Amino acid sequence: MFGTGSQFHGFFNDPRWALAVIRATVLEAAHPQVGAALIDNSTFVAHPWRRLRNTLTSLQRMFGADDDTRQREAARLNRLHARLHGTDPRNRPYDAMDPDTRAWVVATLFESTVTMCRLSGQPLEQRTMEQLYREFQGFLAALEGRADHLPRTLDEFWPYYDRVVAEELENTEAMRIILYKLFDHLPAPPVLNGFPALWATGRAVAGPVVGAITVASLPEPFRRRAGLPEIAGVQTLMQGAYLAAGLTRFLPEGWIKAENVLDLLTLSPDSDDPRARTITAVRDQMKRAGALIRLITPLPPEPGPASGGEAQRNAQEFFAEVLDQTGDGYLDWPDLAAMARELSSRLDLDEPEETRLYAAYADWWRELQSALDTDGDGRVGLHEYAAAVPSLAGPALIRVAEVLFDVTDKNGDQRIDADEYRALFRTAFHRDTTEAGGTYGRSAFVNDFLSFMSGRRRTTPYDPLLADA
């Protein structure tokens, strides 16, 4: 059911699947339990590209051929989901470990893949559809230890799917954000940083189109019940988009491989990846062309980073770019938990190390709450943070830095070598990072981390780790 011979493997790099995953995500977010968990804990608003990359990496691990990797990833996902629970605005409890909710998430991925093929004029044969369904049942079984929260057969699946759509889905806040706000405010991927006008223009055109196509592809009974708009001509546009995406399958395999495309989008110009040099050269040529255009037709200058290699952020920038990981305008525990989650994922930590990192961040949150939460509402607003910035770098943050060093230093030699550095930062050593012997010592690591997290420095290795979208 897994690996290169599976039906899922054939779809993973299919360009049509990008549209299918957006559709599946909307159907997931329309479930009240998933929607509440996304609003309270997810970084999909402030850091969508990072979230997308992590999701694709997780799916690759779960559907890959290596069973040990799959079991390890399933355990990591279960630990992650076990930390996500609370109540929604209507005081209804949610729990990311709820088996029925997890089954619905898997169901949306399967059904959206089937719908993707139908809308692009290539409906799946019954035998292929049944095989694909067994693979998604296997995916759920790898997480839950069993798959009986999904119907046993494909024939039984469709009445189950229709019932959930008709009885359980709602017009949730998370669903509305994905459909109507996320694409309108989608931050530029790292590869397009520095070209805000170009990105804003493309987003202004593509965002509403993607949203309209996604709405048109949702089940009609849910569209009516949720009051989603019906726009003349969008059904034709939707089918044309799926057909056009399907035609891109005939491009060279390397061009449409999901991992390659996402790597390119999230590639930082400062990376040591050979492709970064090509991108940097293209960016330089575009900037020269833009300067020439501005000479001919003067326009207001685009904002750029402050001069100097170690530019400083003001309090508002640092709060929005780094601290507010969930993008809700406040700093609270889910934001710090998101940092711990990202670091644990990058380093592929085992449970004891992951628990140490989360515990260090929890201690930091208690310290921050005690020092900064002046109105006692259980969270820290921008004005509270800006009034007491020096309190950010207290003993608990130093402990976070020390624990992060320890879990990155896999061999315990008190030095971070080139491989360990790449595992955390996904790039090679910076010229000014290494000490004698080509390693990164504890003191230097802790000092750099504290300088970054106290908001004093940008253009450090931590920017793409915690600040990039």
Q: Is the pLDDT of residue 127 over 90?
A: yes
Determine contact, residues 29/178, Cβ cutoff 8 Å. yes
CA distance 312 to 308: 9
Q: Is the pLDDT of residue 232 over 90?
A: no
Determine contact, residues 331/322, Cβ cutoff 8 Å. no
CA distance 164 to 105: 12
pLDDT digits (tens, 9 = 90+) for 354-386: 999 999 999 999 999 998 898 999 999 998 888
16's enclosing H/E stretch is helix 16-29
Q: Is the pLDDT of residue 303 over 70?
A: no
DSSP state of 190: G
pLDDT, position 145? 92
CA distance 22 to 259: 17
Sign of CA dihedral 349, 351, 353, 354: positive
Buried b / exposed e over 377-390, threshold 16 CB at 10 Å, is: eebbbbebbeeebe
Which residues lie across from 331 on neighbouring strands? 380
pLDDT, position 255? 63
Determine contact, residues 19/239, Cβ cutoff 8 Å. no
More confident residue, 310 or 88: 88
Average pLDDT, the chain: 85
The domains located in the chain, with CATH, are 7-250 (no CATH), 267-296 (no CATH), 315-467 (1.10.238.10)
pLDDT, position 308? 40
CA distance 427 to 408: 14
pLDDT, position 350? 93
| Average pLDDT of the segment spanning 332-338 | 95
pLDDT, position 95? 97
Q: How confident is the model at residue 4 (pLDDT cuts 50, 70, 90)?
A: confident
Provide the percentage of residues in the chain whose pLDDT is more than 70. 84
CA distance 406 to 400: 10
pLDDT, position 29? 96
Q: Is the pLDDT of residue 11 over 50?
A: yes
Q: Is the pLDDT of residue 460 over 90?
A: no
Q: Give residue for tokens 């000479």.
A: 295
pLDDT, position 205? 83
pLDDT, position 464? 80
pLDDT, position 196? 74
Provide the percentage of residues in the chain whose pLDDT is more than 90. 51
pLDDT, position 337? 96
Stated pTM of the model: 0.84
Structure tokens that stand for 158 in this block: 């469709």
DSSP state of 346: H
Minimal CA–CA distance to 98: which of 57, 149, 25, 43? 149
Q: Is the pLDDT of residue 226 over 60?
A: yes
pLDDT digits (tens, 9 = 90+) for 79-101: 999 999 999 989 999 999 999 99
Q: Is the pLDDT of residue 36 over 90?
A: yes
Structure tokens that stand for 152 in this block: 């046993």
| Average pLDDT of the segment spanning 434-463 | 82
pLDDT digits (tens, 9 = 90+) for 148-200: 999 999 999 999 999 999 999 999 999 999 998 888 778 877 767 767 777 78
- Tell me how far apart the terminal alpha carbons of the chain are, to the nearest angstrom: 34
| Average pLDDT of the segment spanning 330-343 | 95
Buried b / exposed e over 52-72, threshold 16 CB at 10 Å, is: bbbebebbebbbbeeeeebee
pLDDT digits (tens, 9 = 90+) for 48-74: 888 888 888 898 889 888 999 999 999
Q: How confident is the model at residue 121 (pLDDT cuts 50, 70, 90)?
A: confident
Q: What is the dihedral of CA 173, 174, 176, 180, to 10 degrees?
A: 130
pLDDT digits (tens, 9 = 90+) for 387-430: 876 556 789 999 999 999 999 999 999 999 999 999 998 888 87
pLDDT, position 433? 73
